[in-house]
Each structure stands twice: as C-alpha cells, then as structure tokens.
Chains A and B, each alone.
Chain A
C-alpha cells in the first residue's frame, strides 16, 4: 500500500493549462516561466560577454596589436566584467532558485509572483541600459566593473555611456533583490506540510543563504551607484578622499557577497548532481547546512580584503575573516567527497561537470586563501594572479556548476532530453579550454603583469603565456558552440523525458516533466517527505512495500483516490 498522499490546493481553478504565445510568456506569473526567461536571457548575455572576452584575448595574444584601441579595450573589459557578474552569473544563480525552489519545497507557486516578474523586467531593462551604453560610439563605460570614483565622475569620464552603466547596474541589482526576496519567502514560508527546513534539498539551502546575502549585501551597491549618479551630474558634491573611501567600502560590501551569490547555488547544483549520479544521499547534510550559514555570514565579513593595498583598511581583521572561510569551505568539500565515497557512478554530462567542479573550484579557493594574506596580496593584487583566482572560481567553478545543473534539470523544465554525446564533448572541450586559458595567468601575475592592460610591449616577458592563454580562450569558444549545437540538436530530436529520467532524489522529480501549472496535481501529488531525499527514501523502502516506482498515470490516479485533500496548508511555528 502506498503512503498517503496530499494534494496542495490553489484558490484559482485547478490546472488551467498555461497558454502559449509571447504575451503570455512576458506577462507570466508562473515562476517556472520566469525562471526560464531569466536563464535564457542570461545565457544570451553569457555568449555576448564571452564574445567580448574572446576579442580581448585576440588583442592580447601578441604584443602591441591594434585589434582594439585602448579605449575599446577598456570598454570591452568593463562590459565583460559587469555583464558576466550582474547580468549573467547572478541571474543564473537567482533564476535557478526562481525555477526550482517552489518545486523542491512542494509549493504550488512562488511567493508574490508579480514581484518576481517585476524583478525580471528590471533585470531586462538594466541589461538593455548596459548594452546600450556599451554600443554608444566613443563614450561607452570604460571604468571597470566596479566603477570607482572619481574616475567615474563626469569630469573624468565624459559621454553618457557611464551614466547608462550606472543606471543598468542599479536596475539589474534591484531586479535581483526582488527576485531573491520572493525565493527566500517561498523557502521559508511556503513549504508543503512535512517539508521542514531540515528536509529541504541541499540546493534549496544554498538558495536560502544566497538570497539572505542578496538582501543583506546588495543595498550597499544601490547606495554606491547613487553616489556615482550624483558624481555624473555634479562631481564637486561628492569629491574628496572620504567619498572615495565611502564608495569603495559600499561597493565591496556588495562586491564580495555577490561572488558568493555566484557560488552557493552552483555548489547546490553540484551537490544534487553528485547525489543523483552516485545513487547516495548527500553526505553530511546537517554539517553542510550549518556551514552554509557560517560561510554566508563569513562572506559578508571579508570585503575589506579588496582594499588591503589601499592603506586605509583594517587589514588584520579582513585577513582573519578571509582565511577563516576555509573552514566552512572545507566542510562542504568533505560533504562532496563523503557523497562520492561508496557511490556507484553514472558518468552523465551533468556528473562530469560536477566532478570537474571539485578540483577546479579548489584551485580558485586555495589561491583565494593565498591572497587572503596582505603580505602576498601586496604583490599580486590587481595583477593577472587575481584574474586567475577569480576566473577559476567563477568560470572553472561556478559556470561548470551551472552546467552540471543545466544538464540535470533541462529535462525537467522542457520534457526533452539533451544529447549526451554532444554534452560530453562540450564538457571535454570546455575543461581543456578553461585550464589552458587560466593557468598561465597565475604565472603572468606573479611575474608582474597588471590587469587592464590594453596591450603590452614585446620585451616584458608576457608574450608566450598570453598567446597560450588566448588559444585556450578560443577552445572555450568552441565548447560553447558545441553547447549551442546540443540545444539545437536536442530540440530537433525531441527525445521525451519522463518525470524522473535520472532516478534523482528530490521533490521536483516527483512531478511531470515539464511540471503542471501549479507544480503538483492529482496525477502528480507531493509525496510524504521524511528527509532531504524523499524519492530515494521511497525507493529504498520499496522492497518492504508494494513497489511505488515511477508509476504509470493509471496507477497514480487509482492511488490518489486515497488522497487526503488538505483544507489549508497548515500553520507554522
């Protein structure tokens, strides 16, 4: 006999099919559509900002080239940095939460769907503003992704590209804040009964701490950009060392948590992928939850390490907090390794990305511990060493984690499978490309190559490694092309995915692919949840009961005849 099931009701007429068509998509209140729109927009921008990077690497492949003028180089670099951080990876992170968190906690919808939609449109308009500023002839924003004053002010940077940058950054950040609040509220206050906080999947916990960091850290960016906005109009009002330091402190107060916003959800993707494709529940869940909370709080406390060389910061404190981050990071790594140990591996594309994340992010993390020492940072700050550090964490780490999640959840969101052969080819080429591109940067930085160099002279000792790095960038480009090919080929072949093609463990896999309008219904009810891996629990208990494997719709309809319809979702402490 199957365990009793519950149906989560919704006030509107049940299971009205969501209509197709562009206006219905752009005005949707379905969190799944908003999530897909966010990730699709971010993927487009990922390719755009990546193309900028390829052009920059082409410029730097040899000394003294003229592919990009110094001004163009700085514009490309600014757009690439801001675009990747504010318009690509952060939306990947939050967008995945918008899509998955309601499903993973058994909720029929996200909290305040129209606020979520508002957030999406603010992000879109912010992106348009930034792109418009970039293509503005002669005056695109060129002051880096952080836009420090006084360089950002009207007297030093003319034209209106910088103003569009400020507007775009502000709008996109507002969008992310709004989307984060609804994801957070859903996880905290809209879980199905029996889905306690200590039974939500690891991915949902990563989204909880991520959205907490957004709420706590992103407002500082808004304040910083208000300073810049005044500086565009009347620099004298906001000039002086006090304003310069205020801007930097506010900016980095956002600028450090944002890199963890761009990290934790992808840790969640890797965790779900590893658990699924080893067939083991995630190891050390309790320790991981506690360490996520500690890690996220710690992430709020390290921002001054960007200011070690400023001569105006509390270096000892920020060195302490930055180094202490290695503790929760290490606990999470033990979680990964403990999950792997004893697993029966299935080497799907998602699993390959997740496995490669582990050593690659580690390179970024360990170099991060190195530069947490001011004595080391005094040498390598603002050099290619730093670039290597954060491209390892963000690209070889987070982007790989993103693809682990993408290949895992694409069948759930679309109902079709991605091509595994092309996926593995994508993974292989991207892994080679990432390492060939970024390993030379540690050496270049150590040898004295600063960031933001539009070009370099022939005798400086930077030529060979720059060329190798640029070749690697080309390889990454090829891998993205393979990924695009995979999307096209899979859309053409339309291999259908069932509810749980991977035999995964968490609630989103208990419903159809794609899920119905309100996530769960009579045919796919929310099963009873006893742990953070409910479907694995059900499979492990199966020998003792009648097998509740993936049931045909007829069997499920019969089983749901015994369903208990909950009146209201119940109240919480």
Chain B
C-alpha cells in the first residue's frame, strides 16, 4: 500500500531528525544556563559580543543542506503515492460523501452500498478485493467532505461537482474504520464507514449479490 509505506518510511526518518534537532537545541539552552552559572561563580559579567560570520555562514549552509535533503525525501514519497501512471485498477468505486453518510457505487456494476451513520450504527461498508489496485473516484453530493482511512494513511477531499481519484492496494484482509475528515456540518463526527478487504472470490460474489 504505497500511502502506508511512504508514510512509515518518511515519518520515521523525519521524526528521528526532529528529535535530534530538538535535543541539540535543549542541550545548548541548558548548557548556556549552566555556563551563566559558571560565569557567575567566576564573578564574570556577560560575554561581550563577537563577530562570528564564519559560524553564521556555516550553520546557514548546514540548514540549507538539511532542507534540500528533506525536500528530496518529500518529492520521492509524493511520487510513490501518486505515480505518473497509476496502476490499472481491478475495480473503480465512486465514493460519494453527503450530509451525513457515504455512498459507494461499484462502477460498471449495479451494486451501491450506503447507510445512515447516525449513532454510529448502520455504517456503510466499502468492500475491496485484497491485494488488487482499486481506484476511488471521490466526490460530494453537497458540501466539502474528506475520506480518511487512518490505518492506511490515506486521505482525499470530496468536492461537489468535482471528482478526485486515487488508487489504493490493500495488502491483507481485514476491516478498518474510516472517518470523514473535513467539517461538513452538525453530524460530521458520526460520518464514519468501514473499509473491508476480502479475497477475490468473496469480492466477486459480493458484486453479484450485493452482500458478503
């Protein structure tokens, strides 16, 4: 699942860098407090200002270098999530958000799944075949919504009058909660659905009967 693997790799890498930077800054901060105490013990006043151009240029250069590295990491992760040519999907699902639940229409078949979402009962289920690319064509029937699958690190906004597409491949069977992630009115907090990945044969029978 490109979104999940791109996220994991990048999040781990950048979090490590962030922790290193944070610890360095805290080290220098507390070190300067200690140095001040030490100068106090020696009866010295504050250190007079010195010109430190080489130091300034040096750390500016280091910052630019780190930023370039981070930009390259970002670009390559973006390319993994949305490659120039998306893999040919085994199924395309039209995902439509509305106030306040979801509708899934499996394109080219008569199957449409929806629900009511109120009280978090009767949540609709988005069924996908495991291990195969599925294209989601996301739109909205009214105001802005967003499809968020937290376990798979995927999010895409739903606009009325516009279709945004992304191709997902869920690598293992299971059922995961997904949520609306763009404020859409009063019942936004209940607008959830299930993502369920099933083996090929079960998916084929789902498309015929509309039930698992």
> Which of A's residues lie within 8 Å of B, judged by CB?
70-71, 74, 142-144, 148, 150-151, 156, 240-241, 244-245, 278-281, 283-284, 287, 309-312, 315-316, 319-320, 323-324, 326-327, 330-331, 333-334, 337-338, 340-345, 355, 358-359, 362-363, 366-367, 369-370, 372-376, 378-379, 381-383, 447-448, 450-457, 460, 540
Contacts and interface: CB of A to CB of B under 8 A. Distances in A.
B14 A370 contact: yes
A334 B78 contact: no
Nearest to A245: B159
B146 A344 contact: no
Nearest to A326: B67
Given A280-B46, A326-B66, A379-B154, A70 B186 contact: yes
B209 interface: no
A280 B156 contact: no
B144 A148 contact: yes
Contacts of B184: 151
Q: Which of A280, A355, A376, A540 has the most CB of B within 10 A?
A: A376
A148 B78 CA distance: 26
A379 B7 contact: yes
B151 interface: yes
Contacts of B15: 370
B78 A374 contact: yes
B164 A312 contact: yes
B207 interface: no
Interface in B137-155: 138, 142-144, 146, 148, 150-151, 153-155
B164 A310 contact: yes
B7 A156 contact: no
Contacts of B75: 316, 319-320
B179 A450 contact: yes
Contacts, number: 233
20 contacts: A309-B181, A311-B156, A319-B78, A331-B60, A337-B32, A341-B47, A344-B44, A345-B37, A362-B22, A366-B18, A366-B22, A374-B77, A374-B81, A375-B77, A378-B3, A379-B153, A381-B181, A382-B182, A450-B148, A455-B189
A466 to B, nearest CB: 13
A359 B78 contact: no
B203 interface: no
Interface string B109-124: 0000000000010000
A448 B153 CA distance: 9
B39 A344 contact: yes
Nearest to B60: A331
A374 to B, nearest CB: 5
A320 B155 CA distance: 20
B25 A70 contact: no
A342 B39 contact: yes
A57 to B, nearest CB: 16
B159 A241 contact: yes
A375 B3 contact: yes
B63 A343 contact: no
Contacts of B156: 309, 311, 378
Nearest to B144: A148
B150 A448 contact: yes
B71 A70 contact: no
B201 interface: no
B71 A320 contact: yes
A533 to B, nearest CB: 9
A343 B153 contact: no
Contacts of A340: 28-29, 32-33, 36
B181 A375 contact: no
Contacts of A447: 150
Nearest to A536: B49
B74 interface: yes
Contacts of A453: 188-189
Interface string B162-174: 1011100000000
A452 to B, nearest CB: 5
